[in-house]
A and B are shown apart, each in its own frame.
Chain A
């Protein structure tokens, strides 16, 4: 073995520069949870199927379980902990989820919210069908998707620039 099996990396997480030393085989999802204490990123399947671990990498929604932590070196990561603008105020999408009871157990919620934040940024005025397609990679086993779609439609209206 010519190179060390751990690496020291720097990355930005929720706007803050962070440094960790991580085994090269560790996934980004595990590093966020165990090294940085950001346990809001949930791990369901660890194989890219369930979408619970979705985070934003440079603004794009990706599976944190399908990236190695070392690959995040130099990138900007946003996790569920970074969505709310302040400790006392939730993101409009989070507010809409509350109002519509778009979660029960909450396991899938971080992945849905990060996915939908990116989606609403790209598609500010989505149809219901477009929302359902956008969250097709996020499995929810409690509420079903009706309330999630309703909350997203409302959040989209809140986030759109008012004429």
Chain B
């Protein structure tokens, strides 16, 4: 099919975009369009107005200040993936970005667009939760920040008022020498993950684990932190048995069910991927065998 009729707006400043958003009824923001365009073509979305953010000045770009990376909402996924700082210092993000869709969709798809679309299986939603990102939002009452962990209110529902838009993502740079692994299972390369596991580990000089972050994507409407397993790992000596034990806790999660994938299958995937990601993250620690 073809997209339904709508009125097209191409603001050039953030102020123009916000004022359009505040004054128009049934308006949709168009970022990279890698989700909205198919939704229009399949007639899942019928906006009266499409507000194209691609010509808004200043919404794209990556800047590093101290130990924070600021990623403009309209930054293309490909540009973040290619960024040397991401490649060198935030391996979890680099691994997750490489799994998003395909080269052609990463060239156009944006960071903010994927986060606001908030597909439960989207790599960016899960990895930004794991990394403790902060979402920068602009609205008629000025800017506000919200923690990524609080950004999803429910299934595909971001914490955004109808007159607000995301302007950037702030990422704390993880400590040097941490271990990271982002793994997912999908039926074909580039498909949405059925389940994804993001793991970050830090280690004391004694060899004990200092801290573990485990985030599962695709299992429920919003990313799931495996807090029990994280608590089990903290302070322990990393061994294959310990990782197996921690991953076992993924069997207890609430997993969603759909026409193709039963909940028990997602739980089993969560367990396997958690164990593999823990192992891989441990192996990526400096000095690990």
Q: Residues of A with Cβ closer than 8 Å to B?
A: 1-3, 5, 7, 23-27, 30, 46-48, 51, 54, 57, 60-63, 65-68, 70-71, 115, 118-119, 133-134, 136-137
Contact = CB atoms under 8 A, between A and B. Distances in A.
A61 B106 CA distance: 9
A3 B50 CA distance: 12
A25 B190 contact: no
B9 interface: yes
B33 A67 contact: yes
B240 interface: no
A115 B7 contact: no
B33 A46 contact: no
Contacts of A137: 101-105, 190
12 contacts: A1-B7, A25-B8, A27-B37, A30-B2, A51-B104, A60-B78, A63-B108, A66-B108, A68-B3, A70-B8, A115-B103, A118-B103
Given A46-B1, A48-B38, A24 B8 contact: yes
B37 A133 contact: no
Contacts of A61: 103-104, 107
Contact of B34 (A5, A7, A66, A133): A66
Interface of B: 1-10, 30, 33-34, 37-38, 40-42, 50, 52, 54, 78, 101-105, 107-108, 188-190
A25 B38 contact: no
A63 B33 CA distance: 10
Contact of B8 (A30, A51, A68): A68
A5 B7 contact: yes
A70 B10 contact: yes
A2 B6 CA distance: 11
Contacts of B103: 61, 115, 118-119, 134, 137
Contacts of B108: 57, 60, 62-63, 66-67
A160 to B, nearest CB: 20
Given A5-B5, A136-B189, A136-B190, A54 B104 contact: yes
Given A71-B52, A115-B103, A136-B188, A24 B37 contact: no
A3 B78 contact: no
A136 B103 CA distance: 8
A57 B103 CA distance: 13
Contacts of A51: 102, 104
Contacts of B188: 136
B41 A46 contact: yes
B7 A24 contact: yes
A133 B215 CA distance: 25
